[in-house]
Amino acid sequence: MMKQMIAAAALVAVVPFAASAEVSTPITVAISYDHDLLASDSGAEIVLSDIQSQARSACTASGSKFGRGPTVDRDCVDDVMAQAAVKILQEREEMGLATAPKFARLASVETASYEQR
């Protein structure tokens, strides 16, 4: 029997930082994750990988009509990762749930990195 996965979503609004000549478009990303996985470091790695995949998908622009392939905005991915990690950590603290140290460290590092930009 397959264990039913309980997923939660962290809604993240991102305005990627862009050079002055570029036009940035705000995006909103709904990140899905399994609360149960965040209780262990091994589960946190799975969640982090999944969040990164969802962030890359949300921050990928389609190719141009001139044959250029899709491009990934790495700053956008970093912003989504940082905001999602912080929001998830805050939600878990409010719910009184224990969070794997690996995920908590990432949220702290991402927050510091995001605030310095």
Asked whether residue 30 is domain-assigned, the answer is no
pLDDT digits (tens, 9 = 90+) for 13-68: 554 444 434 566 777 888 888 889 999 999 999 998 999 999 999 888 876 667 67
* Phi then psi dihedrals of residue 11, to 5 deg: -90, 120
Nearest to 86 by CA among 18, 5, 36, 14: 14
CA distance 84 to 14: 10
Q: Residue 92: inside a domain, yes or no?
A: yes
Q: Is position 79 within any domain?
A: yes
| Residue 3: predicted pLDDT | 36
Residue 28: the pLDDT is 83
Strand partners, 61: 71
Helix axes 101-116, 41-58, angle to 10 degrees: 40
Beta-carbon count within 10 A of 113 CB: 13
More confident residue, 1 or 101: 101
Q: Is residue 81 part of a domain?
A: yes
Q: What range defines the domain where residue 86 resides?
A: 35-57+73-117
User: What's the pLDDT at 6?
Assistant: 42
Mean pLDDT of all residues in the chain?
76
Q: Could you tell me if residue 1 is inside a domain? A: no
Domains contained in the chain, number: 1
In-domain check, residue 15:
no
